[in-house]
Chain A
Amino acid sequence: MQFPILSLIIFVPLIAGLAILAMPAERKREVRIIALTASLIDLALAVIVYVLFQPGVAGYQFVEKASWVPALGISYHLGVNGISTPLVLLAGLVLAGGVMVSWKVDDRPREFFGFMMFLGASVQGVFAALDLFVLFFFFELAVFPKYLMIAIWGSPKTRDYGSMKLTLYLFLGSVISLVGVLAMYFMGGKTFDMLALEQAGFPLAFQQAWFPIVFLGFAILGGIFPFHSWAPDGHVAAPTAISMLLAGVEMKVGTFAALRVAIMLLPEGAHSWAWAILALGTVNVVYGALIALIQTDFKYVIGFSSVSHMGLVLIGFATLSREGLLGAGLQMFSHGVMTALFFAVVGMVYDRAHTRNIAELGGLIKKMPLAALGFIVAGLVSMGMPGFSGFVAEYPIFMGAWKAVPLVAMIAILGVIVTAGYILLVLRKVFFGEVPAGLEKTVGDVSVMDKIVISVLAVIMIALGWFPMLMTTMVESGVKQILALVGGA
């Protein structure tokens, strides 16, 4: 029995959350310190897993297995591969970043940080799960923290609507997949173990019938068109840290689960339905970008840009090829870091300017230079500029799409052009030009904590742009596992 590091990654935030909720409400400082410590420990453990992961070794690593409910074929089975390891790191990064940017939250910090820790445990549990029951268990653990954090601490105008919409959409997706997973459970010999189900050899008709159900259920959380509208509404209504976690990590939980459960366990179904995913993903990319272009609300721009970028992940999946999957794997990480940084900067701007209306903002680079710089870096990643992680991720996706259906690549590339349009537009309006008179006095620079978050996230994206090998070899090893199941080279 080796050191249970994945369990620690899941349970450190969970236990921290419980400890925080058990504290008296007025110990606000201690609450913050516990949350920060726990999230930093979590991040450190995730880094250790990332560093110790051996891309050359086949199969899952850091595997833990213990019996849970043998009578139902449920086991506590954890492990990571080349696809999930970067996501574990991503979740650790964004959780720690989220705690740091919400350091000043003063409205019931105990509940705020407690619920946030639960959210962190939930996403880590999904990424590390090798058992479908464990996966659902952690997947749905996020229901109430997501809802309450938006409903209580969200922006007053839209929080009731945004929180309910987001939670119900996601619950809807998860319960639809749950029915599909139950079907797999009975067809696959009454086990929830994904490694066993990979070998179950489901009949073709079964796979074709159930793949769309399982995939769509999870992909709703990934923001697939036409079930994407929860994402901008929910992300905009959420407080900064939760926007970061939702757009940065939770959406990846959706696409990751769609890949892990639907594509890897029902590969024949994936081949039959790839055209549909490809089509919907393309709509995501172009439609999301176009809608982002016409937004007047700073945060909505970023919200729709997530819809657009997640479309690229879906396209990458749908190619079912080495390039496409590699790009999708990288894009999940790259977009997670990028969008977390975007939302962090948007939150910092809003906290100081008290408006998110693009027309009322301007010249903020003078007031908060580092935040502006962070936004520029994230913007360049978003546009897919060489030298940044976005390029490393999007290039293989387009290559894969070109090989599969050139038309898709041609249409989707339009999305990138539009992306450049809305990013540059926002950048010019918000950060350059004159500072509006109303904001001249009120807006100051960001705090030290904020600066750390911005710098770390930005440096990661640049490092990945210059040294893609830091992640590509790892993701490739994961892609090999997928290809072994779905076929193709």
Chain B
Amino acid sequence: MFLAVLPEIALIVLAALVLALDLFWRERESTNLGWVTAAGLMIAALLGALFARPGEQPVLIFGGMLSHDWTTFVFRILFLLGGALTALIATDRPSKHYGEFCALLVVSVLGMNLMAASSNLVMLYLAIETTSLPLYILAGFRVLDQKSVEAGIKYLLFGAMASAVMLYGFSLLWGFTGETGLEEIRSVAQAGAISPLALAGTITLVLVGVGFKISAVPFHFWAPDVYEGAPTPIAGYLSTASKAAGFAVLVRFLLVVAPTAAPFWSIALGVLSIASMVVGNFLALTQRNIKRLLAYSSIAQAGYILVGVAANNAMGISGTIYYLASYLVTNLAAFAIVWLVEREVGSDDLDAYAGLAKRNPGIALALLAALLSLGGVPPLSGFVGKLLVFGGAVQAGLAGQTWLIGLAFVGVLTSVVGLYYYLNVMKILYKPGKDEQAIRLDVSWKVALAVSVAGMFILGVVIAPWYSWSWIAAMRFF
């Protein structure tokens, strides 16, 4: 039983270790903390792969608090990778307070792991808060920068609100069924103890909380402001790992608690998805600040991923998981480059990217790859992700829910709109810029970028390994 949470135990040790090391290392050695954090997170992943491999059947552990299954396992790898890359990107140059930064990051990863594993409403809520509290602080981490503080406060207020609404949903579920375990609630619901209307109502309340986490329209208002103000690596982390954690909760909650209410929530997710794809993509068209552009793009991406969940079949759910992995490496690569340009040029404006192809062709190509992957163009991972989630929708559509084919069409049509602004950024990279000096790169940053770019190509060309894991994870629910 303890082996199943060995990675999480390792994370607690790691958080303490990082704080302790910070006391001994001087400021100019603070970059080491990034390496320690990343290495620690990777060791946790390794421990997970070696000792916490789930069996074929899901097993409930700790009195039904956590589910030890492939979904937990696969999402854990995502979060650990996301945390490690973020640590490497963020701590590439010496700075103060990196000990706290890294420790908070590790704790948020711990919370996400538990979010993906939670099989009980109480545990789920605790896990969500364990994730959110460090993230509120991290978003406002640059206390001398007003925008960062504003981002932190905004994120906190929105998050607290959404979390309260979700908690209300949880308490209603408990009230209706007298149970807090997800499996138990399902049994009671299937026995007909909850009226369909009440179940739909509670699901809606939970969707508010999750919708905030995944920044789906209409719960997205925080995203552009927070991404713009938060430290850039944290913005990347919020848009990828945190979003993935939201989806982990969404998938597990809906498919375990409410498979009987699928007709309702499938349509509800479809509406959120269409709204996110349309609003995200069209608002991104007018952005001149790259972080805001990526924020709207991330809203749109949440819409695409929701297509997979709305499809409610193995193809769609495995596509969701695949897409999240693809999106993780892709967006972290993009934010890593934004972070670099921000410090080199001192601006997040799109014009700051003019001439990047001359200054450092490799980085321009990496950003090109990331943008193409976001746009869904092969040979990059975004193409496979889109293929799978839209494939899930088409499959469900052919099986009778014809409206899902319409959803797939909305998805592909809005992705054409998306390509417009991605292409625009690409063009700017190759325009003549003011500064033509080569850019100095730090080792940890380079490692993180190389891993992300390699991930994009591996997920886009090799496909099979991660797909088979996504598939097993999805099959847990069907």
Interface residues of A (CB under 8 A from B): 21, 25, 68-72, 74, 108, 111, 136-138, 140-141, 143-144, 147-148, 151-152, 160, 163-164, 167-168, 171-172, 175-176, 178-179, 182-183, 185-187
What is the bound-complex CA distance between A67 and B467, given in angstroms? Answer: 15
Let me know if B47 is at the binding interface, CB within 8 A. no
Closest residue to A67 on the B side, CB-wise?
B464
Which residues of B, 369-407, contact A by the 8 Å Cβ criterion?
A: 372, 375-379, 383, 387, 390-391, 394-395, 397-398, 405
Question: Known interface pairs A175-B415, A176-B412. Does A164 touch B420 (Cβ–Cβ under 8 Å)?
Answer: yes
Q: Identify the interface centre among B372, B397, B416, B424: most chain A CB within 10 Å of its CB.
A: B416
* A82-B419 Cα distance, complex, nearest whole Å: 36
Contact A140 B377 (CB under 8 A): yes
Q: Which chain B positions have C-beta within 8 A of A186?
A: 391, 394-395, 398
Residues of B within 8 A of A179 (CB): 390, 394, 405, 408-409, 412
Q: Is the CB of A141 within 8 A of B405?
A: no
CB contact between B383 and one of A108, A140, A182 (< 8 Å): that residue: A140
The docked-state distance in angstroms from the alpha carbon of A445 to that of B122 is: 82
- What is the minimal beta-carbon distance from B359 to any residue of chain A, in angstroms? 11
- 11 sampled A-B residue pairs with Cβ under 8 A: A71-B467, A71-B471, A137-B378, A137-B379, A138-B378, A141-B379, A143-B377, A164-B423, A175-B376, A176-B412, A178-B390
For the complex, is B463 an interface residue (Cβ under 8 Å from A)?
Answer: yes
Name B's A-contacting residues (CB within 8 A).
Answer: 357, 361, 365, 368, 372, 375-379, 383, 387, 390-391, 394-395, 397-398, 405, 408-409, 412-413, 415-416, 419-420, 423-424, 426-427, 430, 463-464, 467-468, 471
CB distance from B307 to the nearest CB of A (A): 12
B412 and A175 contact, CB distance less than 8 A: yes
**Is the CB–CB distance between A178 and B463 below 8 Å?**
no
Q: Are A185 and B391 in contact (CB under 8 A)?
A: yes
Q: Which residues of B contact A168 (CB under 8 A)?
A: 416, 419-420
Considering the complex, give the chain B residue whose CB is closest to the CB of A176.
B412
- Across the interface, do B426 and A172 meet the contact criterion of CB distance under 8 Å? no
B427 contacts A140, C-beta separation under 8 Å: no
Chain B residue with the shortest CB-CB distance to A25: B361
Instruction: Check A187–B398 contact: CB distance below 8 A.
Output: yes
In the bound assembly, the distance between CA atoms of A137 and B409 in angstroms comes to 19
Contact A151:B463 (CB < 8 A) given known A141-B378, A175-B416:
no
CB-CB nearest in chain A for B315: A186
Are B423 and A147 within 8 A (Cβ)? yes
Query: Given that A147-B426, A168-B419, A168-B420 are contacting pairs, would A178 and B464 also be in contact in the complex, using a CB cutoff of 8 Å?
Result: no
13 additional A-B residue pairs with CB within 8 Å, beyond A164-B423, A182-B387, A182-B395? A141-B377, A143-B372, A163-B427, A164-B424, A175-B416, A178-B387, A179-B390, A179-B394, A179-B409, A183-B394, A183-B398, A185-B394, A186-B395
Closest beta carbon of chain A to B461's beta carbon, Å: 9
CA distance A203 to B413 in the complex (A): 27
State the Cβ distance, B468 to closest chain A Cβ, in Å: 6
Q: List 9 A-B pairs, minimum CB-CB distance, nearest first.
A: A175-B412, A182-B394, A137-B378, A69-B464, A69-B463, A151-B427, A172-B416, A186-B395, A143-B377
Q: Of the candidates A74, A144, A152, A183, which one forms a contact with B405 in the assembled complex, judged by CB atoms under 8 Å apart?
A: A183
Q: How far is the CA of A176 from the CA of B390 in the complex (A)?
A: 11
Task: Using A167-B419, A168-B420 as known contacts, say yes or no to A152 and B368 having CB atoms under 8 A apart.
Answer: no
Q: Which A residues are in CB contact (< 8 Å) with B463?
A: 68-69, 72, 74
Interfacial chain A residues near B394, Cβ < 8 Å: 179, 182-183, 185-186
Q: When the two chains form their complex, are residues B390 and A171 in contact, meaning their CB atoms are under 8 A apart?
A: no
Give the distance to chain A from B463, nearest Cβ to Cβ, in Å: 5
Tell me the bound Cα distance from A186 to B395 in angstroms.
6
Question: Do A148 and B398 have beta carbons less than 8 Å apart?
Answer: no
Q: Which residues of B contact A74 (CB under 8 A)?
A: 463
How many Å from the CB of B431 to the closest CB on chain A? 8
Question: CB distance B390 to A182 under 8 Å?
Answer: yes
Q: Name which residue of chain A comes closest to B417, CB basis.
A: A168
Contact of A182 among B365, B377, B391, B424 (CB under 8 A): B391
Tell me the complex Cα distance, A171–B426, Å: 16
Q: Are the C-beta atoms of B372 and A144 separated by less than 8 Å? A: yes
Q: Which residue of B lies closest to A160 (CB)?
A: B427
Chain B positions within 8 Å of A21 at CB level: 361, 365
Of all chain A residues, the one with the shortest Cβ separation from B415 is A175
For the complex, give the distance between the alpha carbons of A111 and B423 in Å.
16
* Most B C-beta atoms less than 10 A away, residue of A148, A163, A171, A187: A171
- Give the CA-CA distance A164 to B424 in the complex, in Å: 9
Residues of chain B with a CB closer than 8 A to A167's CB: 419, 423
Indicate the member of B376, B378, B383 with the most A CB atoms within 10 Å.
Answer: B378
